[in-house]
Structure 1
Amino acid sequence: MTLPGMLRLRAQMTPDAPLLSFGETHRTAEEMQNAVSSVGHMLSVNGIQRGDRVAVMSNNRTELLDFILGCGWIGAIAVPINTAARGAQLHQILGNSQSSLLIIESTLLEHVQAIPPLDDLTDVWLIDADSERTDLPWRTIPMPDPVLTERATPVEIAPGEPAVILYTSGTTGVSKGVVCPHGQFYWWGRNVTEQLEITADDVLYTCLPLFHTNALNAFSQALVAGASYVVGPRFSASRFWDDVARSGATFTYLLGAMVSILDSKPAGPSDRAHSVRAALSPATPARLVDPFRERFGVTLIDGYGSTETNSIMAATRQEQRPGYMGRIQPGFIARVVDEHGIDVEPGEPGELLLRSEQPFAFASGYFRMPEATVQAWNDLWFHTGDRVAIDYDGWVRFVDRIKDVIRRRGENISSVEVEQTLRLHPDIGDAAVFAVESELGEDEVMAAVVVKPGTALDFDEVAAFCKPRLAYFAIPRFISVHHSLPMTANGKVSKTSLRELGATAADWDRDAASRTAHAT
């Protein structure tokens, strides 16, 4: 139930079976174990001890995965940092984690040089190349040859000890470090492998960033299932299926926004020239599930999990229900409550609260943030911040993030439901809905939309389209048109960026248009 334990067991059981393919790097299970133990040795001889935090800031590359696992090998704690982190957020992550060592790509070093000095950060290693003089001590660290370099014996680690600290985006405050124990990765691997029926014959392909829980947990699935793990280049809709085909993947990982982007591209010969049967694809628009399978031959599998939790909800490939995340899985307990913490009736939306019966399957808290930890684990239930509804038959429907709920005219509006309605419009390819402040100081509904090629959007017609499908108070007042929606490094729509633009970026104001029409 630890990262070293899973690596060692996989190497003992299938030493010569392929485990990792990453660009030009191809490793068997035994070679992977040797590489990780070599990195663990290198960290140890350079003074890294059990419990030390080691920050790693890099785009996807073999060294990034090696250093994360190498830390776990010797009982140190890896702190993978989102490559988009800048300024105050980057300073917060490095300062809060008290990382003594930062391992970084040279192209990202300038962002560290731009922040105030950190007392705990005493060493910086450059993964790839030399850099110009800096006020931080730095040195280029070549990756060791696993054949020539002495290897470290893994320390005895308990499943509840921290393996990785993953920092949240900080959209509702400073970034919080989610302390992920070794056991959490074990349960991610075991749960998803069982839920999705992954076998040793499968090839798991991801192009998601390794500083995010999704890609890291996919590696755990490969370890548990005996499957192969392939890391591809950063997501590009134009080459995605070609990349997947070259990998020989049978299973891949998508986010809802990626599904919408792939669906919006013209059909081509690459659409089915691959061997992928299914994709884990949380937050997929329900309307795309069947068309996606018909066009690409891939079953989209929804589910629910988060950095703090595990694979809580799932359904088999055969029983997917578009618009639902699945059922609560064995090993977990869920409640849905109102704002007073009282359980709501089946089918009614409320906040999702979770507990685990699997030891160390959840994060142990937020690093050096006891108040935030107590608030999130209030009454020993993890408060997810997600509004869901559990039907009488146990199927769970996502409603919205609580922080994304729009409050207008005394009514709660689900941004997800408005987005789903807008995506049904024949001229709209994608949409993101969020709250902006009105002249009266309350929320107004704004939609950022991507118009399908070759079409011109009639805003009044869009409002008329929404009228029979949405409550009157949920129809967007503001609409802005975009070539594409802004994305985070994790492949999700950045509503933070859209909120910052605000109503001043709108191409249409329904109230202003109505006043103009009446004046005319």
Structure 2
Amino acid sequence: MVKWSDDILKELHKEEVSGIPLKVYSNRPQTLTETLEESARRFPDKEVFITDTTTITYREFQKRVNNVAYQLQHRFNLKKGDRIGILLVNSVEFAICAYAAAQLGAIGVILNTKLKAKELQYMLENSGARVIMTNPQWWGHIESIRDAIPCEAFFVTGETVPEGTLPFSELDSQEAPIMVSAEVKEHDPIFIMYTSGTTGLPKGAVMTHFNFVHTILNYVNCLELKDTDRTLIAIPLFTISGLAAQLATFIYLGASCVLMPQYDKREMLRLVEEKQVTHIMGSPTVYMMALAEADYQSFDWRSMRRIVYGGSPMPTDVIETLKKWLPQVVLTNAYGLTETTSPTTLLPMEYQLSRKETVGIAVPNGECRIVDPDTGKDCPPGETGELVVRGPFVIPGYWRNEDATQKSFRNGWFHTGDMASMDEEGFIVIQDRIKDMINRGGDKIFSAEVENVLYQHPKILEAAIVGVPDPVYGEAVKAVVVCRKGHSMTVEELLDYLKPRLAKYKVPKYIEFTDQLPRNPGGKVVKHLLRTI
């Protein structure tokens, strides 16, 4: 079995958490607040946030976090365990709200800015959020449901705020006379993030300080991150990758975050050069779109040393193009879920090219098994089954949803719902979501296998494979394809390409060409939207 370095492993020891033996970091902060306090002490005048219009130091950030925490505590009587809705774009205000909630011992309810009013209503009702922080552009959604949600106060950023709301600056700019403190312990909840399920109501994943701290330490140790690093946060902070893998990790380090309000491929190319970014994280689409720009090589990315990708398979040609353009960069595949507070596996740097088809091995304090989804028995090496994981980064369960918690969290193991295989060395290949696996008359078809063949075609930019109803076989294979700019192809041309490369039953019965694939904010393709014929 491939293992992480002895320097990392010696930092771990076994500890029982709720009766479950877990590998935990021995010398760890207890709370997210502690990580900010330490970085502000070490680097008071260092830039923690950099935008196109401003910078903010650790000293200033900590002061503004405390100002907000004080106002919420003393003016609005928020206390430990209360919920604070956060519906904000990537911004200093987002970070202030998240860390103010942590300092109060409150729970930040992290909301997706792409959701509509009814979706937000369910989450705010379910969480019982007492206040909400938002930007002017989302206020219309909140205003339309304000009588149906439990929020008692509405804070809006910007100089002029709508009637019936309060300016966020009232919290942010009034200096607190004391430092706010609360009796917060490491197993106390810190955030609720709602999963983007395709069926049923979304589930509120409850994360603890303990979960976040172990995620942070996994990223710092495995990626060899330093306080001199500078990350570009181009993905939304309301995703677990943006919030945990970038924001919380880099604040723990005392490093710097360059904030993009929303992803734009040319802005990303420019900002890396202009702000001397050393680290970036995103779905494969983030990089594919940037590399599709004809002049991408005219941007100077020599400062970059670590590129992390995940969320879906990275096409081989994209990996090769990145390495050719940026030979100094280490490419790291990361696999994780909201329920695992980001990384479950990471690809060690020495295997970045030789095992690029995998998502790497279990993080140092994690355990992974492949089990038969019907019997729960372990599968032999190389055989496909459901990936189940255990570790201090796995959340305790879902908010006010005991049925869903018991279904997904069993005997200390989280059942991911992902079909995968693991070889004798511990490298894991993700095949498909269980619900996305196609069963064509008893033949099991994993979409990733067919998608990988499609991605090798020089005219194809993006592709997705889904199962659609079939009167004879139960399910049939459908391909949805996006061609590269300036290229087109016919169904017959694509079939001629696929037939020599795939078993007959894997060749798509239906092929659809489109301008873009529907994606969620984390960059994953929303496949249920493609299952029409």
TM-score norm. by structure 2 comes to 0.88
Paired with 1:427 and 1:315, the residues of 2 have a C-alpha distance of 29
Residues of 2 paired with 1:112 and 1:440: CA distance? 47
- 1:141–1:314 Cα change, 3 Å: closer
Mean alpha-carbon deviation: is it higher for 140-149 or for 81-90?
A: 140-149
* Aligned residue in 2 for 1:249: 277
For 2:150 and 2:37, the matched residues in 1 are separated by: 33
1:226 aligns with 2:242: no
Deviation per residue, 1:444-492 (Å, 9 max, x gap): 2111111123333131231122123222111111111122222322333
Which residue identity lines up with residue 105 of structure 1 in the other structure? N
Give yes or no for contact 1:351–1:388 (8 Å, CA) kept in 2: yes
1:444 aligns with 2:472: no
SS of residue paired to 2:376: coil
State the AA in 1 paired with 2:447. Answer: S
Structure 1 stretch displaced more, 286-295 or 335-344: 286-295
Shift of 1:424: 0.9
Paired residues for 1:17-416 under 5 Å: 17-45=46-74, 46-115=76-145, 117-118=147-148, 120-128=150-158, 130=160, 137-142=164-169, 144=171, 148-217=175-244, 218-282=246-310, 283=312, 284-297=314-327, 298-310=329-341, 311-320=343-352, 321-339=355-373, 340-356=375-391, 358=392, 361-416=393-448
1:222 & 1:487 partners in 2: Cα distance? Answer: 27
C-alpha contact 2:346 2:359 (8 A) present in aligned 1: yes
SS in 1 for 2:56: strand
Tell me the alpha carbon deviations over residues 289-332 of structure 1, each in whole angstroms, 9 at most, x when there is no partner.
12221124443210222111142212332321211111122211
Deviation at 1:391, TM superposition (A): 0.7
Distance 1:159 1:48 in 2: 20
For residues 308 and 148 of structure 1, the distance between their equivalents in structure 2, rounded to whole angstroms, comes to 37
CA distance in 2, matches of 1:333, 1:300: 23
Structure 1 residue 130 displacement after superposition: 4.4
**Pick aligned residue for 1:489 from 507, 517, 521:** 521
User: Hey, what's the Cα distance between the residues in 2 that align with 1:3 and 1:426?
Assistant: 46
| Residues 241 and 274 in structure 1, CA contact (< 8 A), matched pair in contact too | no
Q: For residue 69 of structure 1, give the secondary structure of its aligned residue in structure 2.
A: helix
SS at match of 1:30: helix
Looking at structure 2, the residues matched to 289 and 473 of structure 1 have their Cα atoms a distance apart, in angstroms, of 29
Count residues in correspondence: 495
Q: CA deviation at 1:442?
A: 2.3
For residues 156 and 9 of structure 1, the distance between their equivalents in structure 2, rounded to whole angstroms, comes to: 18
Distance 2:316 2:178 in 1: 49
2:218, 2:364 within 8 Å by CA — same for their partners in 1?
Answer: no
Structure 1 unmatched runs, 5+: 504-520
For 1:392, give the aligned amino acid. E
Deviation, structure 1 residue 114: 3.4
Partner AA of 2:479 in structure 1 = A
CA distance in 2, matches of 1:250, 1:449: 33
Separation of aligned partners in 1, 2:162 and 2:69: 28
Distance 2:340 2:487 in 1: 42
Who is 2:5 aligned against?
none
1:131 positional shift: 5.3
Indicate conservation of the 8 Å contact 2:67/2:175, yes or no: no
Out of 47-56 and 440-449, give the one that drifted further: 440-449
1:154: how far off? 2.4
Letter in 2 for 1:227: A
State which drifts further: 270-279 or 419-428: 270-279
The range that moved more, 173-182 or 148-157, is 148-157
CA distance in 1, matches of 2:106, 2:421: 40
Whether 2:429 is the aligned partner of 1:425: answer no
**Are the counterparts in 2 of residues 409 and 473 from structure 1 also a CA contact under 8 Å?**
no
Whole-angstrom distance in 2 between the partners of 1:268 and 1:63: 31
Q: What displacement does 1:116 show?
A: 7.7
Deviation string, structure 1 residues 93-124 (Cα, Å, up to 9, x no partner):
11110112122212212122334832522222
Q: Secondary structure at the match of 1:110?
A: helix
More displaced stretch, 330-339 vs 449-458: 449-458
* Code of the aligned partner of 1:348: E
Q: Label 1:362 to 1:494 Cα distance change in 2 as closer, same or farther (>3 A).
A: same
Question: In structure 2, do the counterparts of structure 1 residues 65 and 450 end up closer, same or farther at CA, with 3 Å as the change threshold?
Answer: same
- 2 CA distance for matches of 1:455 and 1:22? 36
Output the amino acid matched with 2:330.
T
Match of 2:12 in 1: none
User: Greater shift after overlay, 215-224 or 149-158?
Assistant: 149-158
Which of 289-298 and 146-155 deviates more?
A: 146-155
Q: Could you tell me which amino acid in structure 1 is paired with residue 263 of structure 2?
A: F
**Partner Cα distance (2:35, 2:173) in 1:** 19
Tell me the SS of whatever aligns to 2:487.
Answer: coil
Deviations 1:71-113 (A, max 9, x none): 1111111111101111432221111101121222122121223
SS at match of 2:466: strand
Q: CA deviation at 1:271?
A: 4.1
**18-27 or 62-71, which deviates more:** 18-27
Q: Answer yes or no: is the 8 Å Cα contact 2:87–2:113 preserved in 1.
A: yes
| Cα pair distance change 1:23/1:157, threshold 3 Å | farther
**1:433, distance to aligned residue in structure 2 (A):** 1.4
Contact between 2:39 and 2:253, CA under 8 Å: does it hold in 1? no
Q: In the alignment, which residue of structure 2 is the partner of 1:518?
A: none
CA–CA separation in structure 2 for the residues paired with 1:447 and 1:492: 16
CA contact (8 A) 2:50 2:259 kept: yes
Percent sequence identity is 29
Partners of 2:179 and 2:507 lie apart in 1 by: 61
Structure 2: segments with no counterpart, 5+ residues = 1-29
Q: Is the 8 Å Cα contact of residues 289 and 299 (structure 1) preserved in structure 2?
A: no
Q: Distance in 1 between matches of 2:47 and 2:419?
A: 41
Q: Which deviates more from structure 2 when the two are superposed, residues 140-149 or residues 183-192? A: 140-149
Mean Cα displacement is larger for which, 27-36 or 90-99?
A: 27-36
CA separation in 1, counterparts of 2:326 and 2:478?
33
Q: Render the CA deviation track for 1:210-247: whole Å, top value 9, x for unaligned.
A: 11111111122213333222212422223321121122
In structure 2, what is the Cα distance between the partners aligned to 1:150 and 1:437?
Answer: 64
Tell me the alpha carbon deviations over residues 132-184 of structure 1, each in whole angstroms, 9 at most, x when there is no partner.
55xxx532331556683434322121111000101111312211110010122
